[in-house]
């Protein structure tokens, strides 16, 4: 921007200096022509003065000769009337010549004064011209040095920006690669966890159904025995909710992800689930005489433990999904930053000709809204500034072509999908 301003200032100063030089040249030419005219008049006047002086001298010589003749020959009788008339004529001519000589002298003095004034004016204008020329040369040299300094600074800043862009690009690539790897690993872990949890849920469902069948058999055997004296609440209710709840679509088994243990420690007076499942039916009849509160308590403990593990694994799964979402957002932000840096780098190559860009801006923003030239310049401005589809839509709406802007926005929304960056 500063280079453009300096170039404009330099151009204005050069134009001003050129106009001043032209004015001075014209003034000098007019003064020289006038001086030459006055010099010619002076030469003519001097020649006339010389001729008059010569004629006067000749008349004077003739008058002296006549007077000498009259003095030398006083006795001779001449035509006195003719001589007197000649003398009067000569005196009159001498007076006229003296008057003309005085007028020529005055005129020559005036011309000489005008010539001196013009010479002084010429010298003053020449000094002013030389001073302005020296000032302009000094300003031009200062602007040239300043332009060189700014050019060097711009080159250094461009190199620094390029190095920064390269470093940021490398850093972004490494971060994107690491995030992609992490995202891939998390997705694989998530998939494995889902498969494992699904298998565990299927296994637990089968185990739950089998336990329910076993409990129903035990309950029926208990009813058939004589030792069953007090009705108790069936432990089937602990499993009806878990079996009866229907998974919603998209929950991804949020109530599973636990490892079911078939062996539960009991007290000295009861049997574990494994012992209960592996015990033959004949022995169950014998064991049914023991108190059944222990089996119910073990089942409740097992179900509670399973629910706790399900809740824990559900939290872990939710955290992994949140991590996946966060990494996805970070990858999207990194892609946007990479696109922005690429556009900036391309924009630097396009914006070297600032004068051309300035003219396009002036035409776009000062032409009539419905002008066809304005609509034709918008793609050029978009190409030079590497505008996005949204920014191009804003320009098209400003130009008064909302329909074209909507079409451009509609097609522009598919470009980023084709590029493979999103």
Task: Please report, in tens digits, the pLDDT of each residue of the chain (422 residues total).
Answer: 666 777 777 777 778 778 877 877 787 787 788 778 888 888 887 788 788 778 878 877 877 777 777 666 554 555 566 767 777 887 887 788 788 888 878 888 888 888 888 888 888 888 888 888 888 888 888 888 888 898 888 889 899 988 888 888 898 888 888 888 888 888 888 888 878 877 877 887 787 788 778 777 777 877 776 444 444 444 444 444 444 444 443 444 433 333 333 433 333 444 444 454 454 444 444 444 444 444 677 877 888 888 888 888 888 888 888 888 888 888 888 888 887 887 777 777 766 777 777 787 777 777 666 667 777 777 887 877 777 788 878 877 776 644 444 444 444 443 443 333 33
The pLDDT value recorded for residue 178 is: 83
Q: Which residue has the tokens 């892609």?
A: 335
The pLDDT value recorded for residue 371 is: 65
DSSP structural state of residue 402: H
Q: Give Cα 152 to chain centroid, integer Å.
A: 21
Q: Which residue has the tokens 């002076």?
A: 42
The pLDDT value recorded for residue 116 is: 84
**Of 168, 280, 268, the residue nearest 218 (C-alpha):** 280
**Of 331, 335, 344, the residue nearest 165 (C-alpha):** 344
25-62 b/e with 16+ CB inside 10 Å = b? Answer: eeeeeeeeeeeeebeeebeebeeebeebeeebeebeee
Q: Which residue has the tokens 């840096």?
A: 341
Contacts of 277 (CB under 8 A, 6+ apart): 210, 211, 214, 262
The pLDDT value recorded for residue 220 is: 80
Q: Domain coordinates of the chain in residue numbers? A: 305-358, 367-401
Tokens of 173: 């690539």
The pLDDT value recorded for residue 398 is: 74
DSSP structural state of residue 78: -
The pLDDT value recorded for residue 400 is: 64
Nearest 5°: phi and psi at 145? Answer: -60, -45
Nearest 5°: phi and psi at 231? Answer: -65, 140
Other CB atoms within 10 A of residue 320 CB: 15
Contacts of 406 (CB under 8 A, 6+ apart): 393
Q: Give the CA angle between residues 21, 25, 30 to the nearest 5°.
A: 150
CA–CA gap between residue 110 and residue 46 (Å, rounded): 13
Contact 288, 222 (CB under 8 A): yes
The pLDDT value recorded for residue 252 is: 40
Contact 122, 25 (CB under 8 A): no
Other CB atoms within 10 A of residue 299 CB: 19
Q: What 3-state class would DSSP assign to 295?
A: helix
This prediction has a pTM of 0.28
Tell me the Cα Rg of the chain: 59
Tokens of 416: 């980023």
What's the burial of 381, exposed, middle or buried (CB within 10 Å: 0-12/13-18/19+)? middle
Q: What 3-state class would DSSP assign to 229?
A: coil
CA–CA gap between residue 201 and residue 229 (Å, rounded): 37
CA–CA gap between residue 281 and residue 217 (Å, rounded): 9
Tokens of 391: 């920014």
Nearest 5°: phi and psi at 216? Answer: -65, -40
Dihedral angle at the C-alpha atoms of 168, 171, 177, 179, nearest 10 degrees? -100
Contact 38, 114 (CB under 8 A): yes
């Amino acid at each position: 921007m500063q280079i453009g301003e300096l170039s404009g200032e330099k151009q204005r100063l050069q134009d001003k200096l050129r106009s001043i030089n032209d004015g001075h040249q014209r003034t000098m030419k007019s003064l020289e022509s006038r001086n030459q005219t006055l010099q010619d008049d002076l030469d003519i006047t001097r020649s006339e003065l010389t001729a008059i002086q010569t004629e006067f001298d000749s008349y004077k010589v003739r008058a002296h000769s006549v007077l000498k003749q009259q003095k030398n020959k006083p006795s001779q009788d001449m035509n006195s009337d003719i001589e007197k008339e000649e003398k009067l004529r000569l005196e009159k001519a001498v007076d006229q010549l003296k008057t003309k000589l005085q007028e020529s002298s005055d005129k020559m003095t005036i011309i000489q004064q005008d010539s001196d004034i013009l010479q002084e004016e010429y010298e003053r204008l020449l000094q002013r011209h030389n001073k302005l020329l020296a000032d302009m040369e000094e300003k031009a040299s200062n602007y040239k040095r300043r332009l060189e300094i700014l050019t060097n600074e711009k080159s250094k800043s461009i190199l620094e920006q390029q190095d920064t862009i390269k470093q940021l690009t490398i850093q972004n690539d490494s971060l994107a690669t690491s995030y992609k790897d992490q995202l891939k690993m998390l997705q694989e872990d998530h998939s494995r966890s889902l498969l494992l949890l699904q298998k565990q849920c299927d296994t637990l469902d089968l185990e739950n159904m089998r336990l329910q069948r076993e409990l129903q058999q035990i309950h029926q055997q208990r009813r058939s025995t004589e030792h069953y004296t007090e009705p108790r609440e069936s432990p089937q209710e602990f499993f009806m909710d878990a079996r009866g709840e229907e998974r919603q679509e998209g929950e991804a088994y949020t109530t599973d992800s636990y490892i079911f243990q078939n062996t539960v420690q009991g007290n000295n007076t009861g049997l574990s689930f494994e012992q209960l499942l592996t015990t033959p039916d004949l022995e169950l009849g014998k064991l049914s005489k023991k108190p059944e509160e222990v089996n119910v308590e073990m089942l409740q403990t097992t179900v509670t433990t399973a629910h706790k593990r399900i809740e824990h694994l559900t939290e872990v799964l939710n955290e992994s999904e949140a991590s996946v979402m966060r990494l996805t957002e970070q990858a999207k932000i990194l892609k946007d930053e990479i696109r922005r840096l690429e556009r900036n780098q391309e924009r630097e190559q396009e914006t070297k000709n600032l004068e051309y860009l300035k003219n396009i801006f002036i035409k776009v923003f000062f032409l009539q809204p419905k002008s066809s030239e304005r609509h034709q310049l918008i793609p050029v401005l978009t190409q030079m500034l590497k505008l996005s589809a949204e920014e191009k839509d804003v320009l098209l709406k400003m130009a008064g072509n909302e329909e074209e802007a909507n079409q451009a926005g509609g097609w522009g929304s598919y470009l980023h999908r084709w590029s493979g960056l999103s």
